[in-house]
Amino acid sequence: MALAKTYQNCNMERLNELVSKHPKQYADLLKLLVPIIIEYYGTEFEEVIYGTLSNLAIEEVSSQYPKLSSLHSKFEPDNLSSIDNGIDDVDDKTLDRAVGEYGSYPIISEGKSGYELDGEINFLAFKPFQNSSYGLSLFVHELLHAIKSSREQYRIVTDENNQQYLQDRCGLIYMLYELHTREDGTIERTLVKKINTGIEEGINTFDEVSIMNILLAIPLEQIPEELRYILEGKEHRPDPSGYKYLHDRAKELLSDKKIASLIRNVQLNGTGYIHLQEEFNKTIGSKTNAWQELTHNMDSVVSDVYEAFGFLGDAERIEKIIERMKEPKRKIQGIIKQLDQRKEKPGEKTSYEKE
């Protein structure tokens, strides 16, 4: 039986060369997944995807490892220290329940004219997940976060008071850090702003589920022979779980082809965020900033989801959180409905083509 088209079309030689840098079990996973990921996002993003792989450390963490978050310090540059001031919505408890995650650190130094960016460290850290039916899907999810942080991730930005900040981008998520040099010369970064976690997690989960469904629909005999063992006799499943609501809204958003392509450009190329926002507002005829209202309410939902994870088993507390989520959910659905009503009808030219 011939290989599935996805694998026939992929430049396996190039892929083999790239994955040869990774430990065997991860090299095989990448060989299985990357052709599908390229097909899913489109060949125009092939370079971003390969670029990510050549710049990513993949590390297996012992299952006895007490805290996934403490693994981070292993990758953290010596002269950097990260201060958590409670803004980050993912707390240690949520993180430690996960089987793995994508992480990244900037390499910063202080030059004569201020802070300078010298490089970055990107990694995937995973506990063994062969026995979990959701493990492969979670690996896809984290790999996609890495791919969507590949270009234009870190920037040193300066405000009107000449104060420098570090900006960190992961897909549509933007984080802003204050930088401060301690007496001992180490650089302290403190998170002061984070936006778009809700919309990004919704879209990333939608992508994860879509990619898993493509993979699982390919008959085993059409998968390259040496990779079949990953799927054979196992029941792999995608698991949107806590992100189910945001996943469903992301699916509706991406059904607008113009908005979807603008979103992909920001996520994968790291450019055009202001343009996306303007086009979104223009499309739904919003005089206020509907994009900001949408993403802000999705952030509110995601932080409630994270909070609920911390109170599993406490029915009363969960009930309160669910009640609190109703209003932001109503606003999100209202905006998406507006987008749906303004959607260009088939046959009508998009504003892109008109220009």
Judged by beta carbon, residue 191 or residue 284, the one nearer Zn ion is: 191
DSSP characters for 50-80?
HHHHTT-EEEEPPTT-S-HHHHHHHHS-TTE
Tokens of 217: 């629909």
- CA distances for 292 relative to 300, 332, 337, angstroms: 12, 11, 16
Instruction: Determine whether 16 is exposed, middle or buried from the number of CB atoms within 10 Å of its CB (0-12, 13-18, 19+).
Output: exposed
Identify which of residues 108 and 143 has a Cβ nearer to Zn ion in the complex. Answer: 143
Minimum distance, C-beta of residue 197 to Zn ion, in the bound complex (Å) = 9
Which residue stretch of 90-98, 196-204, 234-242, 286-294 sits at the interface with Zn ion (rule: CB under 5 A)?
Answer: 196-204
Stretch that binds Zn ion, among 66-74, 194-202, 251-259, 260-268 (CB under 5 A): 194-202
Q: Which is nearer to Zn ion, 201 or 207 (CB)?
A: 201
Cβ burial 25-47 (10 Å sphere, 16+ → b, else e): ebbbbbbbbbbbbbbebeeebbe
Q: What is the H or E stretch that residue 244 is in?
A: helix 244-254
* Residue nearer to Zn ion on the CB measure, 18 or 266: 266
Contacts of 169 (CB under 8 A, 6+ apart): 149, 152, 153, 154, 155, 175, 270
One-letter amino acid of 237: R
End-to-end CA distance of the chain: 47
User: Residue 137 and residue 142: Cα distance in Å, rounded?
Assistant: 9
- Token pair of 37 as six digits: 């990921």
Contact criterion met (CB below 8 Å) for 135 and 231: no
- HSE of 193 in the Cβ direction (CA atoms, 13 Å)? 9
Closest residue (Cβ) to Zn ion?
Answer: 201
Smallest distance from Zn ion to CB 144, Å: 8
Interface characters, 200-239, with Zn ion (x: CB under 5 A): -x--------------------------------------
User: 201 or 299: whose CB is closer to Zn ion?
Assistant: 201
Closest distance to Zn ion from the beta carbon of 86 (Å): 20
- Write the interaction track for Zn ion spanning residues 60-99; mark x where CB under 5 A is met and - where it is not: ----------------------------------------
Stretch that binds Zn ion, among 42-50, 75-83, 195-203, 219-227 (CB under 5 A): 195-203
User: How many residues line the site for Zn ion (CB under 5 A)?
Assistant: 1
Would you say 106 or 240 has its CB closer to Zn ion?
Answer: 240
- Least distance (Å) from Zn ion to the CB of residue 161? 34
170 or 191: whose CB is closer to Zn ion? 170
CB of residue 78 to Zn ion, shortest distance in Å: 28
Q: Interaction with Zn ion in 93-152: which residues (CB under 5 A)?
A: none
**Given the rule CB under 5 A, which residues bind Zn ion?**
201
